[in-house]
Amino acid sequence: MKSRWIFRLYNFLVLITLPFILLGVMLRWRKRLAQSMDRWQERWGFLPSETLAKFSTGQWWWVHAVSLGEVKSIEVFLKEIPKQADARVLLSVVTPEALAWAVEKQLAEVVIAAPIDLPWVVRRIARAVKPRLFVSVESEFWPNLLREAKRAGAKVALVNGRISARSYSRYKYIQGILSAVWECFDLVIVRQHEDASRFTDLGVSQRLVHVSGNMKYDLPLPYRSNGQSTRDPSHLTIVIGSSREGEEKELLPILERLRSPYPGLRVIWAPRHIERIPEIESLFVSQSVSCVRKSQGPIQGSSILWDSMGDLLDAYAQADIAVVGGSFVPKGGQNPLEPAAMSVPVVFGPSMENFRGIAEVLVQQGGARQVTLSEIEHCLSELLQNRDARQDMGARARRAIESRQGATNRSLVLLKRLIGA
């Protein structure tokens, strides 16, 4: 009875705020949404007839994620489901970038824009799919998605689960309401013991919670064809990856000062959101720094703006040093695993709350350095002038990842056990 009233209250609040939410999304994502407007009907639960026909046969797992980062973190997991569980996969994603990337990489048999979390919208898809298993990723607790999947006969699980310290403190205030959400879960698979403690403290039954490790470590580990040993030491490359608002302004003068002792230095700037490229170009002009966009042709010049999405790994493949953004402003950091997987030494700032476990591992293993803005110039200068230090640091970064792989397989074992497969 209590859960029923909690869901009614939630749905009432969603209906009241939905016009404002949609307006905010349209204003924030207007350029990005234009790329996926043909999928807008999916967000209201209407799937093409050819898609609906696929659900009439086979065992389906419905996997739900939000952002491009989340989808990338479960790339191996999605590809292993058909192999290990003999199941077909429906993947629903929220952001336009995640949708485009998942479709391009063919990560699932069916990829759709995630439905708006209203009961009758979600119910339309859940009843069509009739999933054997519904899998939510990381910290996506969409009440109606979970509830309607359960009502359609699915087991409901969370994989790669996490609750950040900031979210944990907020969830404590609504712990009583969250109980209705936790009732939907049959299995909660989390990254580390700290996450397990937070889930159980918030009311999730301890028997449902299992620690498997972090699936993000299971990313493919490519080797660079342009290894550092063959690079001209007078022409080194620093990649500023996934930078956020305010960081370019702080980092640009530092990188320009490094050109005095290293005149051949090349810097690739790859912002987290490419719609900020014009803003960054204006900053460069104001500082009298010339730059060129990647899309304008062969990558030449000393300052390059990486103006494409989904191929940050290609930028890191050219790096001698990677600076991971979102960490020198209070944004919680961005994923440092991609450069580390390519044996690139990693540098990031103080704000790595969203990747704290990974950051701590890389620093402890000697594959990364965590510095402040006042320290980064000395850190980069030291690495630029010491080739052996760069190579040793990069090798340590890769070994740190290799030693922690396996979360995908451990999670699949638990999921198959849950559904009796």
Tracing tokens 């040093």 back to the chain, one arrives at 321
Burial of 220 (0-12, 13-18, 19+ CB in 10 A): exposed
Mean pLDDT by 10 residues, the chain (421 residues): 80 84 67 64 93 95 94 94 96 91 94 94 96 95 95 97 90 90 96 95 96 91 54 79 96 94 93 92 93 80 86 91 97 93 96 92 97 97 95 96 95 96 60
Name 267's bridge partners: 238, 303
SS (H, E, C) 271-329: ECCHHHHHHHHHHHHHCCCCCEEHHHCCCCCCEEECCCCCCHHHHHCCCCEEEECCCCC
- What is the model's pLDDT at position 227? 46
CA distance readout (Å), 136 to 18, 133, 149, 156, 404: 22, 10, 11, 8, 22
pLDDT of residue 34: 56
pTM for the structure as a whole: 0.82
- Res 226: pLDDT: 45
Res 29: pLDDT: 59
Q: With beta carbons less than 8 A apart as the criterion, state whether 60 and 87 touch.
A: yes
* pLDDT recorded at residue 311: 85
Are 160 and 408 a contacting pair, CB within 8 Å?
Answer: no
Q: 119: which residues sit within 8 A by CB, 6+ positions away?
A: 7, 11, 144, 147, 148
Q: Is 237 helix (H, G, I), strand (E, B) or coil?
A: strand
What is the C-alpha to C-alpha distance for residues 223 and 7, in angstroms, rounded to an integer?
A: 49
Q: Which pLDDT belongs to residue 19? A: 81
